[in-house]
Structure 1
Amino acid sequence: MIHSLFLINSAGDIFLEKHWKSVVSRSVCDYFFEAQEKAVDVENVPPVIPTPHHYLISIYQDKVFFVAVIQTEVPPLFVIEFLHRVVAMFRDYFGECSEAAIKENVVTVYELLEEMLDNGFPLATESNILKELIRPPTILRSVVNSITGSSNVGETLPTGQLSIVPWRRAEVKYTNNEAYFDVVEEIDAIVDKSGSTVFAEIQGVIDASIKLSGMPDLTLSFMNPRLLDDVSFHPCVRFKRWESERVLSFIPPDGNFRLMDYHVGSQNLVAIPVYVNHNINFKESGSSGRFDVTVGLKQTMGKSVEGVIMTVHMPKVVLNMNLTPTQGTYTYDPVTKILTWDIGKINPQKIPNLKGVICLQSGAPKPEENPNLNIQFRIQQLAISGIKVNRLDMFGEKYKPFKGVKYVTKAGKFQVRT
């Protein structure tokens, strides 16, 4: 299926390559570089690029492009899902998936890629199995390996590969039995000049951290599962039970894993947690303009909004900006023309405001359109979709575990048009 994998940094350098079936020349990446040059930004590079003899399928994570080379027709989502598994595994092993982390652990990277694909086909993609095969790197282990010349690869076959539950190790034991779930939602929205919502949807995930002894069988139920339009699950979830009862029933992997992804569409009337009042205008004649923006709370169910940052790509004719914030700090880069206002936590009694004068290039024509405002924020202990975990039950084991659920809402691509 996958012949080769190339890792390319943001500067366009191929810093790592791995071949499974046959060595594919680096020159195949020239087609990728051409598509990259045509794209407006990195997120607009086509994920599937046909070439005369190959297909290039890529994802972009942590400023690194993962480009898989395919010679026969394969469902693209199959390859994309595998690449995301590779990224998740690197993060699990090294804490991050950056170029520096990959270069620092290059031996472990090659060992992982060798086990994850067998002759180009996915083999072991579960963290439990891989950690029994290849021990995660530590400073002590790295020193011992360099002295003795040994590797991190284990000598015995993982117990998960011999059981009917391949994602879970056998005979897991913990002194403290804990099960924690993080419900993380990202809201993508476009708000027009008048404050009306043009588009809004929510991408949500439930990440689990399970440290339970034995072979527990869990059921997780929701207060309002009908809110979830479009769901995808970890292989451990029994799909028929979800279809009939809207309950998640599963034997969990050991450790950290993503239990499910879900999507809430705009037909469910997604709540917009913040509002933006804006007045940005440029004078017809002269070399100045006015900038006046206020950010306030809208629908937050009584929760505080923190980590608020507004970024604005100003028109090319803007030389400088002389602004006064009532809260937070602002910076304007005259080279990139990006205004960044770091607001922090919004105080509902004193709404943050940023206003002042825009200095324009003299003699240049007035900008044809006003810039868009991009907002970032974070709301703790709130799932903006209204989804709520009802209860978690455990069967098959006799002890009582510690249980906890945390909710976080973040801004994804949240844009206000002016």
Structure 2
Amino acid sequence: MGIDSLFITNNKTETLTAVKHWGPETDSSVCEKVFEKHNEAIKANSQGDVLAIDGKDYAFFQSRGEITYIATCNSETQPLMVVEFLTQLHEVLKSYFGNVITEAILQEHHLTLYQLLDEMLDSGIPVNTHPGGLHVLVPPPNLANRLHNAVLGTASGVLVSDQDPTKLLPLPWRASNIKYTSNEVYLDVIEHVDATLDPEGKLLTSAIYGKIEVNCRLSGMPDISLSLSNSHLIEDYSFHPSVRLARFASDRVVSFVPADGKFTLMNYKIRPESKEDKNQWQPKYIKQNPWMQSQTMGGGGPGGGPEGSISAPLPLYIRPQSSFGPTQGRISIVCGTKPAFEKPVEAVSLQVALPSRVLSADPSATHGGATFDDASKTVNWTIDKFPADKTPCLTVVLAMGSEQESNNNNSDNTNNSNENENENALAMMGGRTDKSSSKLQSERRKIKLQETCNVTAQFSVAGVGVSGVKVESVQVRNEKYKPTQGVRYHTRNGRIVVRT
């Protein structure tokens, strides 16, 4: 009902770094089979986190940098539990040993690693996987611990306290003896926009995903209440274990005892706004978003859609035009910012995927830098900052190959000759020739695939959110101090595709 064996390997050299067994021991040769089947899955373009080994064991694996975590199970268990544990294990190791986990680091601190595995898993079942609580049970390796161990000769990371570990952890994600000289709590509201547009800027599909990240440096055991405006727009959400779900379900207030340091408080998705919502009564806590209001205007502005429609909540517009001939082609893309967005758009990057028969490309841009990658057949256009007096434009002159077109022409000629022979045969047979000829005419209408150059966009906007969800107030209770507070908003691209 849990994890039987855990292997930590170096995926560059495929060498075993650490191994731990809680059930029937699995031979280390399972790692070679995992790497072998994983490489086969990559070639077949069917990657996953679970593999069946020899029809009796299941191997769950995740690669992070040069380290791969492999967990095996030979009995019925919950797959998501194992996948989530491997993800959390990497986060715990980063909190102990730094953001970059290597084989050398794990070998240097192998005693601390095995202590963590003993605390995180009980008979293969995850019991304590939060870094805040583990720091109390297993002290992180530092200079003071090393000197203490060198003098007394004790093992690094061993818990020498005779107290009950459950009493040391009133909350699994936070220790009870945290003290700071300066108490601070900062929040980052980060939203990503996914959208698919046609060449005229009309919205095909769109979605907004967001998350709230917290950097907490508070002493004691504070209790924080977070009030959000326009929280009715949140459709799907997931919270940190510290959040009280009943409080949010009743009055939409995020109430929690924070973990120490940086953590993700919540992830959410914004439900699409319909025209019926604007005609309904709205509570007082709902505040109008000027950016979303500007999207209801009719076309006429740059990047605007049809009159009365709601276009994508994007801070920029992209208008591509392309034409491909037998031996030459040309692509023209105009990119600019929308006036409703009050903050500057930064770090704009466009990737133009060219057809496969492109031999060479000569890109030129009126602003920014444009390069052509011959291996991937893509043109990269970067704009650090938009100019105030003109709209940037990219022009790409293409040299096209004619082999594919000649093959298509030969196949079309063959199909036409076959259709003519069938039509003459039916005409000689007599009878219902009218219906047969009309059927042949309908079959003759072939749908030819048009060559495209899809455009994907990346951007970043600091200081604003597109959904209208904002932090109204942050109240810290249960402590006498008044901490320093701050909230920042970020809008970034998700998957932005413009179809041509």
TM-score calculated relative to the size of structure 2: 0.73
Gaps of 5+ in 2: 275-309, 407-448
SS where residue 220 of structure 1 aligns? strand
Gaps of 5+ in 1: none
Q: Tell me what 2:280 maps to.
A: none
Distance in 1 between the 2:164 and 2:186 partners?
25
Q: Tell me what 2:299 maps to.
A: none
Mean CA deviation greater in 44-53 or 289-298: 44-53
Please tell me the residue identity of whatever aligns with 1:186.
H
Q: Tell me what 1:81 maps to.
A: 84
8 Å CA contact 1:12–1:33 kept in 2: the answer is no
Distance in 2 between the 1:297 and 1:74 partners?
51
C-alpha deviation, 1:60, in angstroms: 5.4
**Matching of residue 166 in structure 1 with residue 172 in structure 2:** yes
SS where residue 365 of structure 1 aligns? helix
SS where residue 403 of structure 1 aligns? strand
1:328 to 368, 371, 376: 368
Q: Tell me what 2:270 maps to.
A: 264
Q: Tell me what 1:407 maps to.
A: 489
Please tell me the residue identity of whatever aligns with 1:151.
S
Distance in 1 between the 2:107 and 2:367 partners?
41
Q: Tell me what 2:323 maps to.
A: 281
C-alpha deviation, 1:389, in angstroms: 0.3
Distance in 2 between the 1:354 and 1:63 partners?
39
**Matching of residue 194 in structure 1 with residue 239 in structure 2:** no
Alignment of 1:293-304 (within 5 A): 293-298=333-338, 301-304=341-344
**Matching of residue 208 in structure 1 with residue 229 in structure 2:** no
8 Å CA contact 1:128–1:160 kept in 2: the answer is no
- Matched length: 415
Please tell me the residue identity of whatever aligns with 1:313.
A
Judged with a 3 Å threshold, the aligned counterparts in structure 2 of structure 1 residues 138 and 316 are, in CA distance, closer, same or farther, namely farther
Please tell me the residue identity of whatever aligns with 1:212.
L
2:134 to 117, 130, 137: 130
Mean CA deviation greater in 376-385 or 9-18: 9-18
Identity of aligned residues (%): 34
8 Å CA contact 1:132–1:158 kept in 2: the answer is no
SS where residue 226 of structure 1 aligns? helix
Per-residue CA deviation, residues 33-79 of structure 1 (Å, 9 max, x unaligned), is 4365345798x523444452133344555576544323233333222
Distance in 2 between the 1:151 and 1:17 partners?
17
C-alpha deviation, 1:282, in angstroms: 1.7
1:343 to 374, 380, 383: 383
Distance in 2 between the 1:267 and 1:25 partners?
54
Higher share of residues assigned strand: 1
Per-residue CA deviation, residues 268-325 of structure 1 (Å, 9 max, x unaligned), is 6762222211112221x22x21121222223763111111122233333223211112
Distance in 2 between the 1:372 and 1:64 partners?
35
1:308 to 326, 348, 373: 348
Higher share of residues assigned helix: 2
TM-score calculated relative to the size of structure 1: 0.86
C-alpha deviation, 1:31, in angstroms: 5.8
Please tell me the residue identity of whatever aligns with 2:73.
I
1:156 to 155, 161, 167: 161
Q: Tell me what 1:318 maps to.
A: 358
Alignment of 1:247-262 (within 5 A): 247-262=253-268
8 Å CA contact 2:128–2:172 kept in 1: the answer is no
Please report the RMSD computed on the Cα atoms of aligned residues, expressed in angstroms: 3.3
SS where residue 229 of structure 1 aligns? strand
C-alpha deviation, 1:88, in angstroms: 2.3
Judged with a 3 Å threshold, the aligned counterparts in structure 2 of structure 1 residues 252 and 150 are, in CA distance, closer, same or farther, namely same
Mean CA deviation greater in 242-251 or 81-90: 81-90
8 Å CA contact 1:160–1:167 kept in 2: the answer is no
Distance in 2 between the 1:262 and 1:101 partners?
38
Judged with a 3 Å threshold, the aligned counterparts in structure 2 of structure 1 residues 66 and 227 are, in CA distance, closer, same or farther, namely farther
Alignment of 1:209-224 (within 5 A): 209-224=215-230
**Matching of residue 93 in structure 1 with residue 96 in structure 2:** yes
Higher Cα radius of gyration: 2
SS where residue 92 of structure 2 aligns? helix
Q: Tell me what 2:48 maps to.
A: 46
2:74 to 52, 71, 74: 71
Mean CA deviation greater in 288-297 or 97-106: 97-106
Distance in 1 between the 2:382 and 2:51 partners?
38
Distance in 2 between the 1:126 and 1:13 partners?
29
C-alpha deviation, 1:146, in angstroms: 8.8
Judged with a 3 Å threshold, the aligned counterparts in structure 2 of structure 1 residues 386 and 60 are, in CA distance, closer, same or farther, namely farther
Q: Tell me what 1:372 maps to.
A: 454
Distance in 2 between the 1:257 and 1:205 partners?
11
Judged with a 3 Å threshold, the aligned counterparts in structure 2 of structure 1 residues 86 and 404 are, in CA distance, closer, same or farther, namely same
